[in-house]
Amino acid sequence: MHVVMFGDQHAESLGGAQVSMRLQRRFLEKAGHTVTMVAPAMRGPRARAAADDSAYVDLPAIPITVDREYSMTWPGRRTDRWLDAAMAGRPPVDVVHIQGDFWGAFIGVRYAQRHGIPIVHTMHNRLDVGIEATTPFPKTVLRVLNAWQRRALGRRVGAAEPGHDGWAYLRRFAARAAAITAPSAHFAHRLEANGVLPGSGAPAVDVIWNGIDDDVLDEVLSLRPDAPVPPSSPAETRVGDATRRAEASVSGVSSSPARVSALERRPRFVWLGRMSPEKRLMPFLEALAASGVEAEVEIIGGGGQLRAARRLVEKLRPRATVTFAGRMPYAQTLRRIAAADAVVQTSIGFETQGMTIFEAASLGTPSVVSDPDLAAELGEGFWAVGDGVTADSSVAALADALRAAASDISAGTPRVPDPTIRERFRQSSRTAAMVEVYDRVTA
């Protein structure tokens, strides 16, 4: 089977969706399928470092970030002609799999409609929540996006397709798809409740988790038996030390070898993700200080709130030691999760799956979970923020959960994740489930 994936950004650029697409491609190819990946061309340092890969069709693009890593391609007839010419020498396409929300999705739908190819569309994002969290005038942005989408996709005969909110936008994509997939049951239910159903007449959204690399999972598990945290790299910074050395801690605790054995008995928490408002890093740091827990806390990731987060830690001076570790490669991040006592998840209503807590559960690490939808999907092996049923965004509720987690960990009675998640979350099983969808839409 020849599957063509369309994304908004190049698969070699940074981002969770891009990691998922690369993983899907690898396991589809291991299963004997052919994969072509279409996205705007990437420029900048990462593009120069990436090896040439014949599976990529890099569309003519305009950089949209200063580092030129992220780009956009305008959907229109010129791009259509360019893409058709680029695809002419490749095997016949069986399925178009769209994994974007914007120009990549527009271009993919146009390509599939021109050539009569069935579409599988994976809905990765809560568009309404994401836009509200990241733009100053979300309603205006959604109106513009809906108008752009209608122009790019064209009107379906006999279909009015009204609306200009985030759900109307997703419904138009769904109406053109033979199947819709979602990375979690809770997001699938929300899509269905808002009428985001495939135009093929299928009554439901297929739930297919984004998975974890089987090989990396096995490698990390082989090293897990209570392995100590790997030594911090020089790039990591613990803010607040008077000497400003790279390994100074916010609470003034030295990181010299004489102190390490004592610190190992403190609970080790990891927070990881993009440092932007919807991820709620700042409330986490406030709750950490309010909780009074003595712990080792590692913040993995980067983003626009990094400086503000460092300043907040210096201001609040929690009893915990906070380390800003920066961005890390995937395998190294998993090793840090495996070495932690708990992962802290803080976004609410934004995540469509919440990959981090599933990665943690696969590695045997429990989580502190703020979003009750994610907690329900996880099943067990977590400390809920609030009552676990209704979302509670208060700093006090998160502080209570951190205290409970730290107490259980220190007592040697941590929560235990569902052991079945490890096998259900492997990418090989997720790819098999997706191939079943491909077979169904091409039958």
pLDDT in tens, 361-392: 999 999 999 999 999 988 899 999 999 899 99
Tell me what pLDDT residue 293 has.
96
Tell me what pLDDT residue 440 has.
95
Per-residue burial over 57-78, b if 16 or more Cβ lie within 10 Å, else e, is bbbebebeeeebbbbbbebeee
Averaged pLDDT score across all residues of the chain: 87
Lowest mean pLDDT among 129-138, 144-153, 246-255: 246-255
Find out whether 2 and 92 touch, Cβ atoms under 8 Å: yes
d(CA 176, CA 117) in angstroms, rounded, equals 11
Higher-confidence position of 10 and 73: 73
Find out whether 126 and 35 touch, Cβ atoms under 8 Å: no
d(CA 37, CA 10) in angstroms, rounded, equals 8
Is 0.85 topped by the overall pTM?
no
Tell me what pLDDT residue 158 has.
65
Tens-place pLDDT, residues 32-50: 999 999 999 987 666 666 6
Tens-place pLDDT, residues 161-208: 788 999 999 999 999 999 999 999 989 999 999 999 998 777 789 999
Q: Give which of 357, 359, 381, 360 is closest to 371, Cα–Cα.
A: 357
Per-residue burial over 142-154, b if 16 or more Cβ lie within 10 Å, else e, is beebbeebeebbe
Find out whether 112 and 83 touch, Cβ atoms under 8 Å: no
* Number of helices (H), then strands (E), in the chain: 18, 15
d(CA 75, CA 403) in angstroms, rounded, equals 51
Q: Give which of 273, 265, 340, 354 is closest to 306, Cα–Cα.
A: 273
Banded pLDDT at 239 (limits 50, 70, 90):
low
Q: Give which of 373, 401, 396 is closest to 385, Cα–Cα.
A: 401
Higher-confidence position of 182 and 233: 182
Tell me what pLDDT residue 46 has.
66
Tell me what pLDDT residue 16 has.
74
In the Cβ-directed half-sphere of 108, how many Cα atoms lie within 13 Å? 33
Tens-place pLDDT, residues 240-290: 433 233 333 444 333 333 334 434 569 999 999 888 888 999 999 999 999
**Would you say residue 417 has pLDDT above 80?**
yes
Tell me what pLDDT residue 250 has.
46
d(CA 327, CA 274) in angstroms, rounded, equals 9
pLDDT > 70: what percent of the chain? 88
DSSP 8-state assignment for residue 349:
S
Tens-place pLDDT, residues 55-77: 999 999 998 877 677 899 999 99
DSSP 8-state assignment for residue 216:
H
Higher-confidence position of 354 and 359: 359
What is the arithmetic mean of pLDDT over 411-426? Answer: 92
Tell me what pLDDT residue 238 has.
55
